[in-house]
Amino acid sequence: MTVKKKRPIIIIDEEKCDGCGICVPSCAEGALQIIDGKARLVNEIYCDGLGACLGKCPRGAITIEERLAADFDEEAAKAQTARKAEAQEPEIKGCPSALISLFKSPQTPVELTEEDASQPALPNWPVQLALVPSTAKFLHQADVLLVADCVPFACTGFHRDMVKGRPVLVACPKLDDYNARLDKLTDIFSQSEVKSVSVIKMEVPCCSNLAHMARQAIQAAGKEIPVEELTVSIKGALLE
């Protein structure tokens, strides 16, 4: 039976954590891991409570608290880091979206059909969320696409398969000013009779905040607008 005593140990605020992974390599004991898009404490015995990971979290999601926890086990922590090294886990030195990858080009180039070429590329302008007026006519009674700005580059069929005449709003939940974009979306939902929102995001954890932003804005606007989430892999495939 594991005996617990009151000692300093990290606490992770899941509401603040965006799963960027910056904290993981800062923990020399291997106590942290990204699981289901969030940083998690793998096991209390791996955490020494010294807080080397605190200053690495850009969202301030990690704190140290005095609470009942199992004692830090230095030998177990060393064994944990050894297992991770043997498994050759990729070292995350920043957001997974920043990991450098080179994909093999397809043997057959993607060609536009006559039907593709005859369709307008976009039904609206501007497309950047920061620039779209809250009362733009193209938003009225529309099924709006809220799109992470990497999606059109990753997905070759974006215009053909996803736009389909729907207004497009583009934002980046990591690099943009989150609160400013949230305020803009709230204004849009308050002032324009949007019918539905489809959020199209990349598979990287930090992109999940785009759907969270949409739902926050709908709630703040006091509306009931259905939200659909679609996820695109970094290789451009639409994930289930």
The per-residue pLDDT for 120 is 57
Residues 50 and 154 in one domain: no
- Which residues of the chain have a pLDDT value below 70? 1, 84-121
Residues 149 and 232 in one domain: yes
What is the phi/psi pair of residue 24, to 5°? -60, -55
Residues 84 and 137 in one domain: no
Residue 59 falls inside a structural domain:
yes
The per-residue pLDDT for 88 is 46
Q: Tokens 């898009």 identify what position?
A: 37
The domain that holds 182 is classified in CATH as 3.40.50
Residues 145 and 57 in one domain: no
Last residue of a domain, one of 94, 123, 139: 94
Residues 60 and 123 in one domain: no
Q: What is the DSSP track for 36-95?
A: TTEEEE--GGG--SS-TTGGG-TT--EEEEEEEEEPP-HHHHHHHHHHHHHTTPPP--S-
Residues 36 and 138 in one domain: no
Residues 198 and 125 in one domain: yes
Residue 231 falls inside a structural domain:
yes
pTM of the model: 0.61
Q: In what order do the strands lie in the sheet with 238-239?
A: 168-171, 143-148, 196-202, 227-232, 238-239
Residue 77 falls inside a structural domain:
yes
Residues 235 and 142 in one domain: yes
- The dihedral region occupied by 110, where left means phi > 0, alpha psi between -120 and 50, and beta the remainder, is beta
The per-residue pLDDT for 119 is 57
Residues 143 and 83 in one domain: no
Residue 18 falls inside a structural domain:
yes
**Summary count for the chain: helices (H), strands (E):** 5, 9
Nearest CA to 80 out of 114, 29, 38 is that of 29
Residue 103 falls inside a structural domain:
no
Three-class SS state of 189: helix
Last residue of a domain, one of 94, 122, 157: 94
Residue 208 falls inside a structural domain:
yes
Domain count, the chain: 2
The per-residue pLDDT for 211 is 92
Tokens of 25: 């390599």
What is the phi/psi pair of residue 153, to 5°? -80, -35
Residue 229 domain boundaries = 114-239
Residues 60 and 122 in one domain: no
The per-residue pLDDT for 50 is 86
Residue 148 falls inside a structural domain:
yes
Residue 102 falls inside a structural domain:
no
The domain that holds 25 is classified in CATH as 3.30.70.20
C-alpha–C-alpha distance, residues 61 and 176, integer Å: 19
